[in-house]
Amino acid sequence: MLNKVVIQHLLFWILFILLWSAHDLVFHHDYLDLLYSNAYTTILYIPLVYFNLYYLVPNLLLKKRQTAYLIAIGSMIVLATFASSWNYGFYFTVLRPEPSSAKLFLSNQGKIILMTDILVLVGISMTLYLLREWYQKERYAREVEQKRLETELHLLKSQINPHFLFNSLNSIYVMLGKDQNAGRHLLLKFSDILSHQLYETQQDRVSLKKELENLKNYIGIERIRHDDLGKVNLDLPNQLNGQKIAPMLLMPIVENAFKHGQSSNGYWIDIALSISPDQSLKFKVENSYNERKKRALEGIGLPNLRRRLDLIYPERFQLQVEKENGIFKVNLNLDLND
């Protein structure tokens, strides 16, 4: 089977001869005869076109040697014009005798016509060549950018809060010393969280149900760790209809609330999630915070989350962050329709 590129080139030359012959009907009214003569003459143009595309353009034009390129291509066009006029004369007088046509193409007027034809052919072939080169470079650039974004996205979603790991392990150790049953229960929750982050995050989408179960496990561990200091109100839907969501999108918001809401005097966190009939997710987290603390309330979790949302759900989300009167609020509206 012929290579796809070879077939494309053959189709180009066939189309060129057909259109060129139709153009030449102005000078000669026998279309079949024009097809024969133009097919014969095209033999001279093919080497010119490919020498220009695959030698002159890459070695002179694209290397910014414009003067040398113009001299080379100009010389070739002039030589091809005179060769073509002789070729036409030979064709019409020897192979298919028609003296009137031979005289036309051997005249100065005929040479100008031939030169115009060659210039048009060179222009068309260069346009197609440069368009193909541009398209290939654009496709390569898009592939590189896609790989870069996939790598960035993988790094963003695979981040595990080291403080949470350390504190959770420490809490499990202490709990096992106090109450082995409670400690084992805490260890199972912690194991589920790690399993979710290590395996589920490899997928583009996970079920919202699993994501919420992971969230509940995290909240359960934080509740145990802080005993009665934290009051957490959780309002999550009981029934879901198989909705899918990118993994680990909700966790950073809740992590941020626990991290920056903690206080030795006690704190509170309100977490609510709802799904509208049009499959729009609304996630709202509010927590108390100490206004006298100078540390940033968003840390790196929320900026990373915003970047992930930009990559995964472009123009399909709203993330609002507000803080006033000792209350920190995060509202996420997300279109789950894929």
Provide the 3-class DSSP secondary structure of residue 300.
coil
pLDDT tens for 309-318 read 888 888 899 9
Among 223, 221, 247, smallest CA distance to 233 is for 223
Backbone CA torsion sign across 91, 94, 98, 100: positive
Element containing residue 232 per DSSP (H, E): strand 230-235
Q: What's the whole-number average pLDDT of the chain? A: 78
What Cα–Cα distance (Å) separates residue 243 from each residue in 67, 195, 201, 211, 332? 63, 21, 16, 10, 16
The pLDDT of 152-167, averaged and rounded, is: 61
**Three-class DSSP category at 244:** strand
pLDDT-based confidence at residue 138 (cuts at 50, 70, 90): confident
Q: Please state the rounded mean pLDDT for residues 195-199.
A: 72
Torsion of CA 292, 296, 299, 305, to 10 degrees: 110
DSSP per-residue string spanning 114-154? HHHHHHHHHHHHHHHHHHHHHHHHHHHHHHHHHHHHHHHHH
SS3 108: helix
Model confidence band, residue 319 (pLDDT cutoffs 50, 70, 90): very high
Q: In the chain, helix, strand, coil percent, each to 5?
A: 65, 15, 20
How far is the C-alpha of 88 from the C-alpha of 82, rounded, in Å? 10
How is residue 121 written in tokens?
């052919």
For the chain, what are the domain ranges? Answer: 4-155, 158-335
Q: Report the CATH superfamily, name and number, of domain 158-335.
A: Histidine kinase-like ATPase, C-terminal domain (3.30.565.10)
pLDDT in tens, 253-293: 888 888 776 666 778 899 999 999 888 999 999 998 866 65
Q: Is 233 helix (H, G, I), strand (E, B) or coil?
A: strand
Q: Which residues, 6 or more positions from 20, have their beta carbon under 8 angstroms from its beta carbon?
A: 38, 117
Q: Which amino acid is at 62?
A: L
pTM: 0.56
Distance CA 68, CA 75 (A): 11
pLDDT for residue 17 is more than 80: yes
How far is residue 269 from each of residues 152, 250, 318, 327, measured CA to CA in Å?
A: 31, 15, 21, 10
What integer is the mean pLDDT of 157-169? 63
